Amino acid sequence: MNPGVRQCAVCGVEYDPEALPGLCPICADERQYLAADRRQHWVDPADFAGSIDVVETEPGLWSIAVDGGPGIDQQAKVIVTEAGNVMVEVPASISERAVEAVRALGPLAAIIASHPHMYGLQSLWSRALGGATVYVSNVDREWLGVTPEPVVYWGGEIELVPGVVASQPGGHFPGSCVVHWVGRDGAGVLLTGDTIGVNPDGETLAFMRSYPNRIPLSAGVVLRIADHVERYEFDRIYGNFGGAIRSMGKARLRASADRHAAWARGDYDHLTGTG
């Protein structure tokens, strides 16, 4: 596989080798971080020597997990539908074996990243899987290191294939999106990326401008995000790092948003001591 791109060793996002920036702008931003030596390191995707597992998460939904590659270890998902499949988030590594495993699930119609941290090797995955259309939030297109082909810039809400809808609550990035789909059991499923983070307890959710640098969003923005996603019916929520809410997703999201807003407003300052 001849990739024809380079990628940032820290975030794993692809860049044009003929136009490499001095620093990866995604990592230089306050939401991410540079390498410990504060220098930029580029890698060739062709040098990947790790492993990529494609495993069923639930009927009709598959996860792609990379071990031993560059980047921040996001897990992509593939929604399998009769109208074509949709990859949500993009691995920061690629291999012939992984491509064959995804191809075996059926034709890939669309690729969409919830926000720029998840762009990964989206142009390579698209090319390897027959030229699947890559959907990029119009307001976040400035973060592209490589312009995929074919690409659709979008805003608001869009149906990627019949029954799979993406929309943009914003927050983490202005164009941060969620993807909604109805599972094989008839229950709604929400894939949230970093727009809404699944906490380790598997019951609550987080809303952050930066997760690694612990920068929160305001109470108003968090409640706006919750209001936005409540247009959908959903029972389960999947994040992009393996976390999941397995039941009561809509109620748990609202409770988590209300809790965040209350702490941000100062409602619970009496629990923090007197200073």
- Pairing mode, strands 42-43 and 85-88: unpaired
Residue 87 reports pLDDT greater than 90: yes
For 104-123, the pLDDT digits (tens) are 999 999 999 999 999 999 99
**HSE, side-chain direction, 13 A CA sphere, residue 39:** 3
Mean pLDDT score of the chain: 97
Residue 199 reports pLDDT greater than 80: yes
Residue 2 pLDDT level (bands cut at 50, 70, 90): low
- Written as six digits, the tokens of 53 are 């597992």
The mean per-residue pLDDT over the stretch 152-172 comes to 98
Q: At what angle do helices 219-229 and 249-265 cross, to 10 degrees?
A: 170
Dihedral angle over CA of 166, 168, 170, 173, nearest 10: 60
Enumerate long-range contacts of 48-52, CB under 8 Å, 24 or more apart: 48/93, 48/94, 48/95, 50/93, 52/91, 52/93, 52/94, 52/95, 52/97, 52/98
Domains annotated on the chain, with CATH: 6-269 (3.60.15.10)
Query: Residue 48: its pLDDT value, please?
Result: 97
